[in-house]
Structures are given as C-alpha cells and as structure tokens.
A and B are shown apart, each in its own frame.
Chain A
C-alpha cells in the first residue's frame, strides 16, 4: 500500500516536473528559453496547464463508439501504472514481491496496446485509426528486441524477480532473503578469479558484470523509446501527418490521462532499464580497499538510510536516463515506417538474438 501511494505520488510529481523539464530541455537545445511566465522561471507552467485541462469540457464525438472511447484512456493508464507494482524503489520498498516480476511487467505493458486500439477505433476518426494501427504494429514489433534484451539479463541473473536482480548488482548481493550465496567476479569471468562482491559499485552493475549487456542496454533503450511512442519513434502520433494520432478526438481530463500514460511509460521503461542494466538502487561508487565508497554512499537493507540511499540512487539514475530520452527526442527526426521496421527486424532483432546467444555462453563462464 505504501508503495502504491508512493508510486502514484511519484508519477504525478514526475509528470508535472518532466513536462516542464522537457519544454526547457527542448528550448535549450534549440537556443530558446522555454516557459518563463508562470511562477519563477516558468515553474508553475505545467500546473497551470493541468488546471486548464481539468476545467476543459470532456467532449465525446457523436459518431464515436462511446463505450470504447470512454474507457480507452483508463485502460491505457491502468496498464502502465500497474507496471510500477513490481519495481523495487529501494531494498525494502516494492509494491509486490512477485518472483516473476519481469514477466509480469512485459505482459502488463502489452495491455497498453489494447487501450490504444480501443481509443483509435472508438474515436471513429481516420487519423485516430491510422495512429492506433501504426502504434500497435510498432509496439508489437519492438516488443521482440525489447524482450530479447531483457532475456539476456534474465539469463545472466538467473531470476525473474526484479528485486533479486537489484540485489545482485551491489555490495548487498548476499542479503536477499531467497538468495543463495553468490559471488560477483570482475566482468563475470570466474577464470580470472577477481572477486568484486565486496567492492560493488559500478563494477557489479549488470553492464559491467557482463560487458556485452551494454549493447543489450542500447537495444533495450532504443526499443523502449519505440514502446513509449516517443520521438524518433512517434509515428503513431506524428503531428505533421496524423494531427495527434490515436488521441486526436480526446480533450480535457481524458487527454490528460493519455499524456500521463505516455510520461508514465517513459518513467517505467527508464526505471526498468536502470534496474535491469544499471544497478537498480545500488550506488555507482565501488569500495576500493580501505576507501569504502560503496558502503558510505549506501545503507544496509532494512535500515532507513538504506532505503533513502536506494531511492536516491534509483531515481537519480532514472532522471539521467530520462534526460537522455529527451535529448534523443529533440535531436533526431522521425523515422519513416519502412525505416522503423528495418531497424526493428533487420538490425535490433538479429543483434538481440546474437546477444542472447553470447549471454548464454557468458553465463557458463560465470559459474
């Protein structure tokens, strides 16, 4: 319950800040200033926008399929918000300690597609329908490299539990309840015999435990952008072609829900990437001999300090990833549909398959 309230608050707070941040980042990239008028340096801009959205009329087109039209935004938001249930925010704070967390997450995010097609079909509008069709084809395609890159991590970690994956990537590797004693070797190669279980930090993150996972993370990152319909993969809502894609007909609070879901998806995939590849809530600083940087910048699981440090590092890393997402959005032009499919099926998927194969071999070196 605590996790639910925390994540809901976190998500709402995040959306308010992220919309503002996105506008500022895009402005700075384009040598502009961005919002300046509402509050100090325009900080109140998003709040003002939200208040405006709430006051707006909730218009339902007369030709729309009303039932589908009305519940679509709720389905989308719910499926994305449900994904937060298994994210470990800190060593002790996780909504649901399911042992199939990764599987659940991928499944529940896929529910999103149903909401999109409901919105597109229900709007009874050609732009909406085109947007929804594009969105579904894109999300379904990119789920394959996304899942394969996650599979690499699962093969290395030998678990589907996100909390266990988090524990493995730091100095508290042997503190997880169901964990058999594990040993982290440098680059995961037992042959060299360099034990870094107690060093922790960045050395025990998955991208260092198994250096090839760095490439897996790049695939994951690209695929996650496509999953969250963000530029340069925003052809489902390509504003220059489709007005606004599947949410063309929405207004007011329901439109706000779409916005909330989109930014929620951004946050979710950023969180997931950080947990799977970038050490979750573990500190990036390793213990070096007597200089116990890792121990100083994190607390033992179960203590308040441990939870605060954990949340700090996880959210900090996530913010960096989100910043990267924003920079990518404001740097690259939108892909054409054929380029989108080329990238997915001819580049990312074969590369991800190769990585799965190599991960299997690497896992043999780790034990």
Chain B
C-alpha cells in the first residue's frame, strides 16, 4: 500500500499497523542473522561478496583486513640507495621532507642500481604527521630508494615521534665529514691561487671529480617537472632551519 492511499482514520491505523509490523520483522531478521559474521578478508578474495548478511564490524586491533603489498602508506627511505638529490624535498607539496646535504670529498659508493653517491645526508627527516600521501616524492626519486610501504597503523602518543629520521650519520660523523669537505675546499682554493700565480694546471684538474667519464647516469625515468615558483631567499632560510 502506498502512503496515503487510504488517508482515513481507520486507513491510517491499518497502514500504521502494517508498516510497524514490517519494521519489527525487519529488525528481527537482522537480530537472527547476527549469528553470521563477516570475515576480515580483502577485496581481492573470491569470497569477498559472499557475506551479504550478519555482523559487519571489524574488531580492528584484534583483526584487520589485509592491505595489498603495494599499499601506499608510510614512507620509507632506503638510505643506502639514496643519492641525496633533494628532488623529493623539492616536489613535496607540504614540505614534510627535510634534507641537509654534506658534499663528500670522494665517491662514497654505489647504490644498488649502480648510481654513484657523492653526497652525505646529514639529515633526512620525513615528518609523517605532515605527509599527505600524494606519493609525488616516490615518483621523482631517481634511484627508487624512497617508497611507500603497507604499514598504516603507526600512530604515536607524542607528535615528535612522527618525524622519521633516515640519515645513517651521527651528528659527530656529519661534523667530521663537513670538516673534511671544508679542508678539501681550502686545499682547492690554495691550488686555485697557485694556478692563478701561473703554476701547473694539471694538478688542479686532477682533483675535479666531475671529469670522470665512466660515472653511471641514473637509470632513465620519466621526470615530472613541477612548476616551482622562484623561491625568495627568506623561504630558503626557513627550510634550512
């Protein structure tokens, strides 16, 4: 019966009664069906659409629906493969990656895809509390060292713990490397001065690492070039802090 089909005193009572009974039987059906329970299975399970009745609650900390292996949640940086190119920090729309670079005096080593590492990361911090999970940083990463993992439950009591430190250098080590580099620079400057005085040219060239022809270029990846507005100097100041 459609509503109002019999809009009289007794018609209303009859309609009210029948719809009330219908409602009561509906809830009773759900009550009886509460014997059944949905299992915590992922959407790619073949039984996913078979549980069409019963309890649907997921008792989360005790059980969880599995996440696919390529789930994109918490960021992870494999620092051994990182060439500290700073691309991730540049593209991050919320500025959650902070990197301090120290130039190395010599080649540090190779990443697993054969790229030469020439820079130390004195600091490689990702503030996951700021992260918006857009995944741009993983796209631009030339060595694919920065990835998103399937870990999604990593809440913390202290928000400072949401900052993840990936650098493998201790502050002391970083200081040491810095000094080494500065010393080398001084040396170079000296050589430069010598050159200007008219001394041997070859010795200065010897130290230049960029001339090595056999340095492997990063494996080609499509580069998405973001349009970055020219940064004012004070913004740069902020970033360093």
A328 partner residues in chain B, CB cutoff 8 A? 24
Secondary structure class of chain B's binding surface, majority of residues: helix
Chain A neighbourhood of B55, CB < 8 A? 28, 31-33
Contact with A along B8-19 (1 / 0, CB 8 A): 010001000000
Note all chain A residues with C-beta closer than 8 A to B33. 31
Q: In B44-82, which residues have CB < 8 Å from any A CB?
A: 54-57, 59
Expressed in whole angstroms, the minimum distance between the Cβ of A367 and any Cβ of chain B is 33
Task: Give the docked Cα–Cα distance between A332 and B28 (Å).
Answer: 12
Docked complex: A1-53 residues within 8 A CB-CB of B: 25, 27-33, 36
Q: In the complex, what's the smallest C-beta–C-beta distance from A176 to chain B, in angstroms? A: 37
- Select from chain A the residue with minimum beta-carbon distance to B13: A347
Taking CB atoms, residues of chain B closer than 8 Å to A32 are: 55-57
Q: Give Cα distance in the complex from A328 to B33, angstroms.
A: 17
- A330 at the binding interface (Cβ < 8 Å): yes
- B30 lies within 8 A of A30 (CB): yes
| Contact partner, A331, options B9, B13, B24, B34, Cβ 8 Å | B24
Report chain B residues within 8 Å CB of A346: 9
Residue B23 lies at the interface, judged by CB distance under 8 Å to chain A = yes
Residues A327 and B31 in contact in the complex (CB < 8 Å), given A31-B56, A31-B57, A32-B55: yes
Q: In the complex, which residues of chain A have a beta carbon less than 8 angstroms from the beta carbon of B54?
A: 31
| Interchain CA distance A36-B27 in the complex, whole Å | 21
Q: In the complex the two chains form, what is the Cα distance from A32 to B34 in whole Å?
A: 8
Bound state CA distance, A158 and B45, in angstroms? 67
A36 contacts which of B9, B13, B59 (Cβ < 8 Å)?
Answer: B59
| Interface flag for B26 (CB, 8 Å) | yes
- CA A330 to CA B26, docked complex, whole Å: 11
In the assembled complex, the CB of B215 is this many whole angstroms from the nearest CB of chain A, namely 60
Cβ-closest chain B residue relative to A32: B57
* Bitwise interface map of A from 211 to 249 toward B, beta carbon under 8 Å scored 1, else 0: 000000000000000000000000000000000000000
Q: In angstroms, how far is the closest chain B Cβ from the Cβ of A24?
A: 9
Q: Which residues of A lie under 8 Å from residue B87 when comparing CB positions?
A: none
Report the separation of the CA atoms of residues A29 and B27 in the bound assembly, to the nearest whole angstrom.
5
Q: Closest CB of chain A to B10's CB: distance in Å?
A: 10
- Using known A-B contacts A28-B34, A332-B20, A347-B13, determine if residue A33 contacts B27 with beta carbons closer than 8 Å: no
Per the bound structure, the CA–CA distance linking A331 and B19 in Å amounts to 11
Range of interface residues on A (Cβ < 8 Å): 10 to 19
Residues of chain B at interface, number, CB under 8 A:
17
Cα A330 to Cα B29 in complex, Å, equals: 13
- Tell me the chain A residues, 288-302 only, with Cβ under 8 Å from chain B: none
Closest CB-CB distance, A43 to chain B, in whole Å?
16
Report how far A327 CA is from B29 CA in the complex, Å: 11
CB-CB < 8 A to A30: which residues of B? 30
Question: Which chain A positions have C-beta within 8 A of B13?
Answer: 347
The A30-89 residues at the B interface (CB cut-off 8 A) are 30-33, 36
**Alpha-carbon gap, A127 to B122, bound state (A):** 61
Q: Which of B9, B30, B56 contacts A29 (CB 8 A)?
A: B30
Chain B residues with CB under 8 A of A29: 27, 30-31, 34
Q: Bound state CA distance, A295 and B9, in angstroms?
A: 47
Residue from B23, B30, B57, B59 within 8 A of A332 (CB atoms) = B23
Contact B23 A28 (CB under 8 A): no
| Shortest distance from the beta carbon of B96 to any chain A beta carbon, whole Å | 35
Output the least CB separation between B196 and chain A (Å).
78
Chain A residues with CB under 8 Å of B28's CB are 327
Contact A31 B30 (CB under 8 A): yes
Q: Which residues of B contact A25 (CB under 8 A)?
A: 31
Measured CB to CB, the closest approach of chain A to B24, in angstroms, equals 5
Using CB atoms, name the residue of chain B closest to A323: B31
**Do residues A33 and B31 form an inter-chain contact, with CB atoms below 8 A?**
no
Contact A331 B26 (CB under 8 A): yes
C-alpha spacing A80/B56, complex, angstroms: 39
List the A side residues contacting B9 at CB < 8 Å.
346
Given A28-B31, A31-B30, A331-B23, 16 other A-B residues pairs in contact with their CB atoms under 8 A: A27-B34, A29-B30, A29-B31, A30-B30, A31-B33, A31-B34, A31-B54, A31-B57, A33-B57, A327-B27, A327-B31, A328-B24, A330-B27, A331-B24, A346-B9, A347-B13
B interface, CB within 8 angstroms of A? 9, 13, 20, 23-24, 26-28, 30-31, 33-34, 54-57, 59
Can you pick out 22 interface pairs between chain A and chain B where the beta carbons lie within 8 Å of each other? A27-B34, A28-B30, A28-B34, A28-B55, A29-B27, A29-B30, A29-B34, A30-B30, A31-B33, A31-B57, A32-B55, A32-B57, A33-B55, A33-B59, A327-B27, A327-B28, A331-B23, A331-B24, A331-B26, A331-B27, A332-B20, A346-B9
Residues of A within 8 A of B (CB): 25, 27-33, 36, 327-328, 330-332, 346-347
Q: Which 6 A-B pairs give the minimum distances between C-beta atoms? A: A28-B34, A331-B27, A33-B57, A29-B27, A28-B31, A331-B23
